[in-house]
Structure 1
Amino acid sequence: MGPHHFAHLRAVADGLSIQASAQRYLGVEHGNAAMAAHRGVVQRLRSIARRAGDPRWRLVGLVIRGIEGDERPALADWAAANGLEGWSEAELQELYRQAFPAERRSARNQRLRQRQIEALRALEQLAAEAPKASDAIAAWFDPRLAQRLQSNGLLLLQDLQTVVARGGCWWRDIGAIGVTKARRIESYLQQLLPGASAGSDALPSLVSAAGALPAMAGVDRRPRFDLVPALPPGHNRADFAGIAITAGSDEQAIEQWVAARAGSQATARAYRREAQRLRLWAAVERGRSLSALSVEDCLAYMTFLEHVPERWISRRRAAPLGEGWAPFAGQLTLASRRQAVSIVASFFAWLVKGGYLVHNPWELVNRRTGDDMSVHALDSRAFEPAVWAAMLAWIESQPSSHSRERMLFLLRFTEATGLRASELTAARLSDLRPLGGRWAMQVQGKGAKKRIAAVPTQALRALQAYLEARGLPPLERAPGDAPLVASLTEPGSSIGYQSLYETVRAWLRQAMRWAPLTDAQRQTARKASVHWLRHTCGTRALERGAPLEVVQAQLGHADPRTTMRYAKAQLQRVQDGMEKAFGD
C-alpha cells in the first residue's frame, strides 16, 4: 500500500466523500469504480492490521457521522469575543464546556474519530511503501485502466512517466481515454512519483568538446543538439582537389545531396532528417564526423535505431534545435528503421561517387532486417467494408459544415481513385478532363512523374457534390485554377499536407469512436491515417475484379509486386488448392 491510500482514508475520515477522495487520491473516476476502489483499500489494510495483531482494524474505513456539523467557535475566538483574554487556560476550558455542552454521541464520535486517525498513522508506519518507478502499473492503477495502459505497452510506472514527460497526445492510441482523463492520470502519476518527470528539461545538458555526453550517475540528460561542435574530417575523407562535390563540411554535403537527389518536398524532408540524425548521432555518441565512421559505427547506429534512448526523443512543442528538442519523435517501427538505413546508405554512395568520401562503409554491412514479427501478414491498412460503411454513415449523420463536406469528398473520391495525399494537395480542377465519354486526370506522382488516372463515376459524383458545397459551378464550368481540395480558411488555396493529414485523422478518430463497431474493429481502425484511403482503393478494386495491371497503373506503382500486397486472390487460390487436396 502506498502513502496515497492512507491519504484517501484520512480524507474520508475527515468528512470528504468517498467519490471525491477516490478521484483525488486513487486515480479513479466516480460511482461504482470509486466505491470498489475504496472497499479494496479498506479490505487490504484491515487484513494487514489483523495480521499485525492490531485490535483497531475494525476502525479502518469506518465512516463516523455527526462530526462535520459541529459549528462551535474556536476557544480563542470565543474568549476574545467575550472579553476573557486574561483568564487562565483551565478556567477558559471550564467556561467553554458550560457554554457549549457536548452531546454524548458527538463526544463519543469525536473520540472514535481520534482513535481512527491514530490507527491510520500507526498502520501507515507499518504498511506504507512508496511507489517506485520500476513498479508494475497494475499495482497502483485501477484494474480496468491498468489493462488499457498495458495493452499499449505501458507495463511499468516509469513507462507511463516517460511517455507523459515526452508530451504531446500520448493517450491518442489508448481506448476510452480523452484529454480530461489523461490529465487526471498525469496528476495521479505525479502524486505517485513526485518530483521531476522523466526527461525533465530542468536538467541542463551540454555536449563536451569531443561531442559526447558528460557522465553523471543516475541522470539521463538530453543533449543540446544546437551545441554539437563541428568535428574535423576523418580517415575516409577524399582529397579536396578535383572532387565533384564542393561541400566543405558534412552539413554542406547533406544540403547538396538533398538538392541534387530529392524529387519532392516530402522526399527532401525525409533525406535531410535521416542524414542529420546520423550526423548528430556520430558527433554526440561517437565523437566523429561522417567521414570517420567505420563498419562498427554503422552496426552501432543500426542497434541504436532499434531502441532510441529517451534523451534522443524530443519533448512536446519543442522548437527544432531549441530547449528540449531531439531528433526523434518516438521509437521507430521496423519499416522506419529500414527506410532510415536505406537512405543513409544511398547518401554515402552518392558521397563516394562525388569524391567526398573514399569508401562507403554501409556496403560492407548486412542491412537486411527481415520482417516485422509484430505485424501479421494478413493485416491490412485497408478499411473493411463494414467499417467503411459505418464510418461514412456516422460522418453523414453529423451537422452539415464545410469540414464535413470536404471529408465526405475525400473518402469517396480517394476510395475510387487511390490518389496519394501529396497528389490530392497538388491537384487543380484543370487537371481533370473528359476523355472518351468519361473523365481522367493528370497526376504528378512520386519523383515528379506524371501519370493519367481514371476518375470513375463514384469519384466524379463526389467531386460534383463537393463543388456545390463550395459554391462553385459544375466541373465543366468550374474555374480551372481552383484547388481540388480547398483550405477552409482560404477557399482559393489548396489544403496543406499537414492540414490534410490532421483533418482526416481527426474525423477518422471521431468516427471510429462513435460508429457502431466491435472492439476489434475499433482497435484496428484506430491506427488509420490518410494513406489508408489509398490502400482501401487498391484492395477494393482487386476484390471487385479489376485486373492487377489496371490497379498498378491507377496507383502509379513502378513494381507490380507493390500492387500485389493489396491482392488476396493468390492466397485464395492456395486455400482452394489445399482444400481440394485435404478437404472433407
Structure 2
Amino acid sequence: MDSLNSNGSGALALETLCQGAAQELLMRSYTIRTINRYKRVWEQLANFARAQGLPAEYTRELAMRFEQTYGVRDGEVLKLGQQWRRHLVFGIRVLDDFARTGTISRFVVETTGLRVPVGMHKALREYEQYARERRHLRPSSLAERMHDIAVFLDFLRTRGLETLDTLQAEHLSAFVQTRTGWKPMTVACVSSSVRLFLQFLFMRGALPRDLSAAIPTVRLASNAKVPSAWEPGLVERLLAAVDRSSPKGRRDYAILMLAARLGLRLGDIKHLTLDHLHWTTSTIEIVQNKTGEPLVLPLIEEVGAALIDYLRAGRPPVEHRHLFTNLTPPFAPIRENDRLHRVVAYWRELAGIKFKAPQRQGLHSLRHTLATRLLGAQTPFPVISAVLGHASPATTFIYAKADVETLRIAAIDPEEVCHGRAS
C-alpha cells in the first residue's frame, strides 16, 4: 500500500486508492454492477472532499464525516439521483478495508438478499469487524455467522423494528419459535450466532441489558448425526468419469483426489498453495483452516500424479500462489464462499451415479467416505483421526456409530500408533 501514499504523512491519494480498490473488486469476482455502485459512492466522496476544501486524500476522519452527512436516516425517502446513498455504508467499508489492509473482505450481508434495516447497519458492520479482527474467525465461519445474524435482523424488520434499542426478549423467543421449518441443528447454530451478537451489543453499550440469555436453548443429542458416505465402488466410478484431457477435468480430478484419497477438508483444498506441496519429502504440509493445527499428509503416488498433471497442463499461468483457480479469466483463486459442489455434481451426473436414499453428495461427503472405508478396514482410530486432522478423537468416533462391532475391534492403545501429525 506504500505506493498509494501521496506524501510522507501516511494519507492515501483518493483517486489512486479508488482505482486500486476497483481492480481488487474485479479480481475477487464482484459483478460490474456492484463495482459501478461503489465507484459512484467514491466519486461522491471525492466531491465531498473538494466541497469541504480538503486534500484529495483518504482518511478515516473524511470517511466518517461523509457518512454522517449522507448516510440514510431511518424512514428517509431518497430523492431522484440520491439512490447511490443506499450503497454508502458498503462502499465506504470496502474502501476503508483496502486502505488499511491492501485487500477487501466481502461484507457477507451484502450478498444474502436479506433486508437489514438501515438503523442496524452500523452495529452489524462493527460486529463483523470485531469478529474478524478480535475473535479471529476464519472467513468461512465469519460468513456463516454474519448470515445467521442477518436472518435475525431481517426477522426483526418484519416485526416492525428499525433499530436495535427497541429490542425486547419476546422478539428473541418469537424468532426461535417461528423457525419451524428448520432442522434443530440449524436453529441451534443460528441461535448461538445471535446470542454472541447480543453479548457484543451489550458489551459495547448498544443495549441497556444483556438479552442473550433470553434466547431459548435448543438441546441436541451429542453426536446425533451420522456422516453421509458413498457406497463402495461409487467413488471409483466418479473418478473414472472425469475427462482428464481438459483443464477443467485436470483441475477437478486433482480436487477430487485430495478429498477422496487424503480426506482434505473443503477449506484446506481451497487454501492450498504451491508452497504446501513438498515434493522432496512427498508430503503435503498445511495448517488446517478449521482447527489451526498443523497437518502432514503423505503425497501418495496417484494424488501426486494428479497434481503434476494439473500443474503441467491444467493450471493457468498466474502470479498468485494458490494451487487451484477459477476456470475463466482472470483465473483468480477459488472464492471463499464457493462450496465446489459443482465439481462433484458435474462428474457424478456424467457417471450416472444415483443414491438409493437421500444423503449429502458434495465434496465433504468424499472425506466421510474415506473415513468410513478406513474404519471398515479396521484402521486404528488414532490413525484415522490423524489422517482427517481431527482435533479430538471423539470426533472420529462419530463414524463408528453405525457399526459398534467395528468400534470395539478397532479400539487399540493410541501409543501403539505412529501417525503423521506434525510435531
Q: TM-score when scaled to structure 1?
A: 0.44
2-structure distance, mates of 1:441, 1:491: 28
Which of 388, 391, 396 in structure 1 is aligned with 2:235? 388
1:413 and 2:258 equivalent? Answer: yes
Q: Classify 1:504/1:471 alpha carbon distance in 2 versus 1 (closer, same or farther; 3 Å).
A: closer
Q: Classify 1:501/1:557 alpha carbon distance in 2 versus 1 (closer, same or farther; 3 Å).
A: same
User: SS of 2:275's equivalent?
Assistant: helix
Please tell me whether the aligned partners of residues 268 and 288 of structure 2 are also in contact (alpha carbons under 8 angstroms): yes
Which of 391, 394, 412 in structure 2 is aligned with 1:558? 391
RMSD after superposition: 3.8
Residue identity over aligned pairs, in percent, reads 22
Which residue identity lines up with residue 462 of structure 1 in the other structure?
Answer: A
Shift of 1:421: 1.9
Structure having the higher Rg: 1
Which residue identity lines up with residue 255 of structure 1 in the other structure?
Answer: E
Shift of 1:566: 2.2
Partner of 1:464: 308
1:452 and 2:295 equivalent? Answer: yes
User: SS of 1:446's equivalent?
Assistant: coil
2-structure distance, mates of 1:557, 1:264: 17
Q: Classify 1:300/1:464 alpha carbon distance in 2 versus 1 (closer, same or farther; 3 Å).
A: same
1:251 and 2:140 equivalent? Answer: no
1-structure distance, mates of 2:384, 2:208: 44
Shift of 1:229: 5.7
Match runs of 1:282-431 below 5 Å: 282-287=156-161, 289-307=163-181, 332-370=182-220, 380-393=227-240, 395-396=241-242, 398=243, 400-431=245-276
Q: Classify 1:471/1:249 alpha carbon distance in 2 versus 1 (closer, same or farther; 3 Å).
A: closer
Partner of 1:50: none
Q: Classify 1:415/1:572 alpha carbon distance in 2 versus 1 (closer, same or farther; 3 Å).
A: same
User: SS of 1:343's equivalent?
Assistant: helix
User: SS of 1:268's equivalent?
Assistant: helix
Q: TM-score when scaled to structure 2?
A: 0.59
Which residue identity lines up with residue 390 of structure 1 in the other structure?
Answer: R
User: SS of 1:306's equivalent?
Assistant: coil
Please tell me whether the aligned partners of residues 427 and 443 of structure 1 are also in contact (alpha carbons under 8 angstroms): no
CA offset digits 1:228-253 (Å, max 9, x no partner): 4638xxxxxxxxxxxxxxxx953344
Please tell me whether the aligned partners of residues 325 and 334 of structure 2 are also in contact (alpha carbons under 8 angstroms): yes
Partner of 1:199: none
Partner of 1:484: 323
Please tell me whether the aligned partners of residues 543 and 567 of structure 1 are also in contact (alpha carbons under 8 angstroms): no
Partner of 1:440: 284
Shift of 1:345: 1.0
2-structure distance, mates of 1:441, 1:503: 27
Please tell me whether the aligned partners of residues 409 and 463 of structure 1 are also in contact (alpha carbons under 8 angstroms): yes
2-structure distance, mates of 1:499, 1:283: 29
Partner of 2:145: 271
User: SS of 2:322's equivalent?
Assistant: coil
2-structure distance, mates of 1:399, 1:365: 51
Paired positions, count: 297
The range that moved more, 272-281 or 454-463, is 454-463
Which residue identity lines up with residue 276 of structure 2 in the other structure?
Answer: D
1-structure distance, mates of 2:263, 2:114: 40
CA offset digits 1:337-366 (Å, max 9, x no partner): 221111111222233344443433332444
Please tell me whether the aligned partners of residues 263 and 388 of structure 2 are also in contact (alpha carbons under 8 angstroms): yes
User: SS of 2:378's equivalent?
Assistant: coil
Please tell me whether the aligned partners of residues 287 and 293 of structure 2 are also in contact (alpha carbons under 8 angstroms): yes
User: SS of 1:572's equivalent?
Assistant: helix
Shift of 1:523: 4.5
Q: Name stretches of at least 5 consecutive residues in structure 1 with no aligned partner.
A: 1-207, 210-223, 232-247, 308-331, 473-477, 577-584
Shift of 1:289: 3.6
Q: Classify 1:494/1:552 alpha carbon distance in 2 versus 1 (closer, same or farther; 3 Å).
A: same
Q: Classify 1:483/1:573 alpha carbon distance in 2 versus 1 (closer, same or farther; 3 Å).
A: closer
Which residue identity lines up with residue 248 of structure 2 in the other structure?
Answer: S
Please tell me whether the aligned partners of residues 248 and 314 of structure 2 are also in contact (alpha carbons under 8 angstroms): no
2-structure distance, mates of 1:440, 1:479: 21
User: SS of 2:283's equivalent?
Assistant: strand
1-structure distance, mates of 2:130, 2:254: 38
1-structure distance, mates of 2:314, 2:404: 44
Q: Classify 1:356/1:226 alpha carbon distance in 2 versus 1 (closer, same or farther; 3 Å).
A: closer
Shift of 1:304: 2.0
1:506 and 2:345 equivalent? Answer: yes
Which residue identity lines up with residue 402 of structure 1 in the other structure?
Answer: P
Which residue identity lines up with residue 251 of structure 1 in the other structure?
Answer: L
